[in-house]
């Protein structure tokens, strides 16, 4: 299997970086001035464990969410995981059993050296002009393992995080169901 430490290059090389480059003005100025030398992606510790299908683990990587801080315990990351878990369990085609687990070990970059077997990797971001959610789904670490890349309108202006992330998680589950129907979890089959 490919080394998992290729993930940052993967995120930068698939067009995602272009989509996520439109951060808030303050964040852009910090980056341009060199004030923010932090990595450009963050793993969410809220992992979804699945039973009943191709994947048994789903992890989310923030490659450009518009968040005030990069706190791993950000409620936005937790809400995305819970919303995805509910939707994937209720989906008629997929019908997974799903449970959200807190996995602090995923935050350590040294735990991302190899791709996990039966692991769905989800990169997520936000763009502006127009406001959009974006995601890419990966069945592994190679370029051919990217089986979905989409941006969807971010039109829900609601303070309820569950409603706010609904467009994103609905589309992620729909893309996963489409891949399951065709049994194609790679760029082309």
What is the rounded average pLDDT of the residues 26-39?
Answer: 41
Under the banding of pLDDT at 50, 70 and 90, the label for residue 189 is confident
Share of the chain above pLDDT 70, in %: 79
What are the backbone angles phi and psi of residue 115, rounded to the nearest 5°? -75, 140
How confident is the model at residue 39, as a pLDDT?
A: 65
Residue 74: C-alpha distances to residues 6, 27, 55 (Å): 25, 18, 25
How confident is the model at residue 50, as a pLDDT?
A: 97
What is the per-residue burial (b if ≥16 Cβ within 10 Å, else e) of 96-118?
bebebeebeebeeeeebeebbee
Peptide bond into 130 cis (omega under 30): yes
What residues contact residue 81 under an 8 Å CB cut-off, 6+ apart?
44, 46, 47, 48, 58, 60, 100
Rg (the chain; Cα; Å): 16
How confident is the model at residue 15, as a pLDDT?
A: 38
Phi/psi region, residue 183 (left: phi>0; alpha: psi -120 to 50; beta: rest), is: left
How confident is the model at residue 80, as a pLDDT?
A: 97
d(CA 54, CA 97): 12
Average of per-residue pLDDT values in the chain: 81
Tell me if 57 sits within 8 A of 66, measured CB to CB: no
């Amino acid at each position: 299997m490919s080394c998992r430490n290729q993930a940052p290059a993967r995120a930068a090389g698939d067009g995602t970086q272009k989509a996520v480059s439109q951060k808030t003005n303050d964040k852009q100025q910090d980056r341009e001035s060199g004030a923010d030398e932090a990595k450009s992606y963050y793993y969410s510790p809220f992992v979804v464990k699945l039973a009943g299908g191709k994947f048994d683990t789903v992890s989310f990587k923030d490659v450009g969410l518009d968040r005030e801080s990069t706190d791993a315990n950000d409620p936005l990351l937790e809400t995305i995981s819970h919303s995805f878990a509910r939707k994937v369990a209720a989906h008629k085609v997929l019908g997974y059993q799903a449970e959200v687990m807190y996995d602090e070990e995923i935050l350590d970059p040294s735990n991302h050296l190899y791709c996990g077997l039966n692991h769905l990797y989800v990169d997520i971001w936000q763009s502006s002009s127009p406001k959009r959610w974006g995601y890419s789904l990966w069945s592994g670490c190679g370029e051919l393992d990217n089986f979905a890349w989409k941006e969807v309108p971010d039109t829900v202006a609601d303070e309820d995080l569950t409603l706010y992330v609904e467009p994103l998680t609905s589309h992620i589950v729909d893309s996963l169901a489409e891949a399951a129907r065709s049994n194609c979890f790679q760029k082309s089959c």
